[in-house]
Structure 1
Amino acid sequence: MDKKIFISYSWGNKEHQDWIVNLGKRLMTDTVDVVLDRWSLKDGHDIHSFMEEMVKSKDIFRVLIVCDKKYKEKADDRQGGVGTETQIISPNLYSNEKQEKFIPIVLERDEDGKPFLPVYLSSRKYIDFSQEEDFEDSYEELLRNILEAPSIPKPKLGTKPPTYITETNVDLSETNSKIRTIENQIKKNDNLNEKYASDFLKVFQDKLWEFNLENSPNNLTAFGELLMETLKNYKPLREDFIKFIDLLTTKKTDFASELIIEFFENKPMYLRPRDERNSWSGPEFDTFKIIFQELFIYTIAVGIKNKDYLFVSELLHSKYFIKDPYRNNQEPSSFPFLYDYHQNLESYMNQTFNKITGFGHYVITNLSDQISKQTLIFSDTLCYCVSYLETDNHYDRWFPATYLYGERNGGFNFFDKLSSRKHFEKVKVLFDVQNENELKKKLEKNKENSGDRIRYGNGGFNRVPFVYELIDINKISIYR
């Protein structure tokens, strides 16, 4: 059944009236039946009788009382229509009516930041619309109130709480809230505001610090167990980041790549204490090395999924001016600075589970529901391909730890489709080339300089194909 509401307000200037009308229109669009004098009160109707009927009617589920300076003054002094309405609402407010029927909507605050609320509403819980930048959050709160759809509905009672919930104090309400704000803003304006995006990353970066391993054990098994438990606790925060990247690349914003590059440039700041402690050990920050590498792969994967190839290209070919307070006048880095060999993780996974790639096993067994396994593996492999095509420097290359977990034939439809001229033209930016001849030259150079097979572990049988084996030089852009 549709919810029916009545909006009470003081007539003001055109801008104020337009705000009320627009709120009513949007609520109507969102399935709320709005009674508003601008379209419900007909010529010849008695205004006071209309107001009294709306306030007392059992059909009216909520009465929104829009409070600004003028409304407060008229209500407190019992002036005009607002004064009459106040006399009608007051006894109903304190009678046996449901307390939640009357909702104050604050539009203005005084110079001290106090909301303009009439005396009879001063102790009531209100919804704050006084800050324009917070409109979407406030509107969602109002809509959820009317539709009786709380953002966090009461869940069914479980029988046994999981340890990764009971043993963590991580509060994701801030990142969740930022995501909802961005989603609502996109719904309203069909674009993504850079300020909202920056706000999300600031909160996310602060939350990351909750996953360091201070006072971690020296025993490899105990350390590995703590590391994996910490990464499991971090997973919900990672999901918010992936959703954020999805929003960025779905809207294909012009500031997305710069914003994300700046985020990844912060990695070195997480490899030492946030405070000024004199004593600390490297393993304490192992989680961050893993997190940043995994997040980069997911970022590339989301961009590929949404076909925002320009965004992906910027991340793969831009220089990163990494923020390291202990290194001055350093040269900018390419994206492989985000790759690490995670010694403790690899040793733990090998010793405990006999895995030849600890990082690869961790990533694949902790996949996000937002990205397919094959897209993630392809993105990791694409990073490998680009790094080997761009440089001969061993320290500026990427190893695709997840490749081992892909399809047995090792092929990727994306690479196979490079034989299509149409597909090639769409994705050539990923390889930083203008035409097929430039890509062929890079592949030929890679073939000439190829050394030993790239393998997992020390001399193992599992290997990664050379780039020129993944991309057939002779089949680039040969079909329409």
Structure 2
Amino acid sequence: MTKKIFISYSWGTIEYQDWVVNLAKRLMNDSVDVVLDRWDLKDGNDVFHFMESMVKSDDIYRVLVLCDKNYKTKADNRDGGVGTETQIITPEIYKDQKQEKFIPIVTERDENKSTYLPIFLSSRKYIDLSNEEYFEESYEELLRNILDAPSIPKPKLGTKVPAYITDSAVNNTATNSILRTLENQLQKFPEKVNSYSDSFIETFLESLLDFQFKSSSSAIDVYGKEILDNIYSYKVLREDFLDFLLITTKPEYNLDVEILIGFFEKKNQFTNPKDRGGYNNYDFENFSFIFQELFLYTIAICLRNKNYKLVEELLYSKFYFIDSYSGKTEAKSFTEIYKYNDSIENYLKRSFNKISGFGHLIITNLCEKIRKEEIIFADVFCHFIADLYPSNNYRDRWFPRTYIYKEWYNTFDFFDRLTSQRYFEKVKGIFNVESKEEFQKILNDYKNSKNGKDRIRFENSFDSLPYLHEMIDIDNIATNR
């Protein structure tokens, strides 16, 4: 329905009259039906009747009162047409059902930047069109007011009290406090994603320190269970980290990968601190597990969000880990985050006959927002990249301990889609190639290097890992649209 408005103003100079007419024309062009004396008040019409009918008419949705020095003087002194109009408007303003009908529009300020609002409008919220620099923003505010299209509409009233208010286990973590406002803030200020992320990561690392513990026994049945209990207890904090990733790794936010790299570079400070005191190696194994788990979730979430650039940077950039004892910085690949956690593996194998303790713990303690297939694929993909680009260092490997939990009948859709040229162009960076020909050569060389070699198997199991060339139709890469 077309909105009809009336503009009340004091004529003043020719330039000011032209400014008012131009404002009215622009509103008309933007679908607002404007009643203005310059084109609606005909010769011979009663001026006062015209004013009164416009102010009191139910057809008039808004009355814009343009406030400059001239209008304020005449309104306060009840002088001329403006004075008469003021006498008509004033009682209407104080009728509750009519209050929103009258909008003061500031069009001029004095030398002290004070507004020229007449007394009868001095306490009312106004729209400021006096500043040319911010005119467009203010005009949009005015137009949205008239058209009932606020930039921040009032949300619907929820029917359910938030769980963090009603649940007995309230998440009062400092990280959760940041998360409650993070997404809303990024929608308004996406350019601040890195500063918000730095703040979250710093707070997360401080909170993670609270999970350092010292085992009460050297018996594996005791300290193995204590490590698992510790990992389970940090789940609330972990969920905050994953929610942070789900928000900030969306491609539109352009998260700086250095923030994520910097986070994982802190691993040594937790897993091998300089001041070990009377701690045993297994007292820090919870942190080894945590950083490895969080890296898998990071890859999985970046892939879900189709942020292939972040995946590429995480898999091929160097991480500068500081040696806790020498203080030297060493540049290493992402495989440095991988670790065989003896205590977890031995405890779960001994107590529950689990072939892969790490895999079992990841899958049974999975975040509800992430599918099992996503975390397994992230694990397998890290293995393939480490295997595709091997170094001379035996430690530069990644064994996908979750793979044993993959459903045998499921293929990895990601690899199947590489026959699409469009899809290949999007993801080729995470294989560190520029063209399909380059990728095909790398895969064929990889295939030849595996001829005659024994497959990698899980300990005490017939299950083995596939090779990357077996997952990809090499000859048909990027052959379809």
TM superposition score category, shorter chain reference:
0.5 to 0.7
Residue in 2 that maps onto 1:359: 358
Please list the CA deviations of residues 420-444 of structure 1 after superposition, one character each: whole Å capped at 9, or x if unmatched. 1111111101101001122122222
Q: 2:220, 2:382 → 1: CA distance?
A: 30
Kept in 1: contact 2:285–2:341 (CA 8 A): yes
1:56-455 to structure 2, matched below 5 A, reads 154-155=165-166, 172-273=172-273, 276=275, 278-393=277-392, 394-409=394-409, 411-450=411-450, 451-455=453-457
Task: Give 1:448 shift.
Answer: 2.8
CA pair 171-417 structure 1, distance change in 2 beyond 3 A: closer
- Contact 1:420 1:479 (8 Å CA) reproduced: yes
How many residue pairs get aligned? The number is 351
How far has the Cα of 1:192 moved from its partner?
4.5
Within 2, Cα distance between the matches of 1:479 and 1:154?
52
Distance 2:228 2:469 in 1: 36
Q: Does 1:462 align with 2:467?
A: no
TM-score between both structures, scaled by the size of structure 1 = 0.65
Structure 1 residues 413 and 432 mapped into 2: Cα distance closer, same or farther (>3 Å)? same
Q: Distance in 1 between matches of 2:293 and 2:353?
A: 21
Stretches (4+) displaced over 6 A: 45-51, 146-153
* Distance change in 2, residues 1:410/1:396 (3 Å): farther
| Identical-pair percentage | 36
SS in structure 2 at match of 1:263: helix
What do residues 379-409 of structure 1 show as CA deviations (whole Å, max 9, x unaligned)? 1111111111111443111111111111204
In structure 2, how many angstroms separate the alpha carbons of the residues matched to 1:406 and 1:44?
79
Deviations 1:295-322 (A, max 9, x none): 0000000011011101111101111111
How much does 1:152 deviate? 6.7
RMSD: 3.5
Distance 1:171 1:437, change over 3 A: same
Q: Structure 1: give runs of 5+ residues left out of the alignment.
A: 1-36, 58-79, 86-139
Q: Does 1:478 align with 2:479?
A: yes
Within 1, Cα distance between the matches of 2:244 and 2:64?
A: 40
**Structure 2: distance between partners of 1:360 and 1:43:** 77
Structure 1 residues 426-474: Cα deviation after superposition (integer angstroms, max 9, x where no partner): 110110100112212222222233332111115x211111122122322
Deviations 1:22-61 (A, max 9, x none): xxxxxxxxxxxxxxx999x99558989979x98xx9xxxx
The DSSP-based 3-state class of the residue aligned with 1:322 is strand
Question: What is the match of residue 34 of structure 1?
Answer: none
Residue 280 (structure 1) shift: 1.8
**Which stretch shows the higher mean deviation, 324-333 or 311-320?**
324-333
Larger Rg: 2
Query: What residue number does 1:13 align with?
Result: none
CA contact 1:182–1:192 (8 Å) conserved in 2: no
Aligned to 1:321, the other structure's residue is in SS state: strand
Shift of 1:247: 1.1
Q: In the aligned structure 2, how far is the partner of 1:470 from the partner of 1:206?
A: 41
Quote the Cα distance in structure 2 between the aligned partners of 1:251 and 1:425. 16
Going from structure 1 to structure 2, the CA distance change for 1:328 and 1:210 (only over 3 Å counts) comes to closer
Q: Matches of 1:238 and 1:195 in 2, distance apart?
A: 21
CA shift at 1:184, angstroms?
1.8
Matches of 1:38 and 1:228 in 2, distance apart? 67
Inter-CA distance 437–50: structure 2 relative to 1 (3 Å threshold): same
Code of the residue aligned with 1:155 in structure 2: it is T
Q: CA deviation at 1:151?
A: 6.3
Aligned partners of 2:379, 2:426: CA distance in 1, in Å?
A: 20
What whole-Å deviation, never above 9, does each CA across 1:195-243 have from its counterpart, x for those lacking one? 1110000000011112222244211112122112111111111111111
C-alpha contact (below 8 Å) 2:272/2:324 kept by paired residues: no
Deviation at 1:149, TM superposition (A): 8.9
SS of equivalent residue, structure 2 residue 234: helix
Q: Kindly state the Cα deviation for residue 257 of structure 1 after the two structures are TM-superposed.
A: 1.2
SS in 1 for 2:314: helix
Quick one: which amino acid aligns to residue 293 of structure 2?
E
Mapped to 1, the partners of 2:242 and 2:288 lie a distance apart of 17
Q: 1:357 to 1:297 in 2, by over 3 A?
A: same
Q: Distance in 2 between matches of 1:315 and 1:172?
A: 31
Q: Work out the CA distance in 2 between the residues paired with 1:254 and 1:196.
A: 13
Residue type at the aligned position of 1:455: R
**Contact 2:251-2:307 within 8 A present in 1 as well:** no
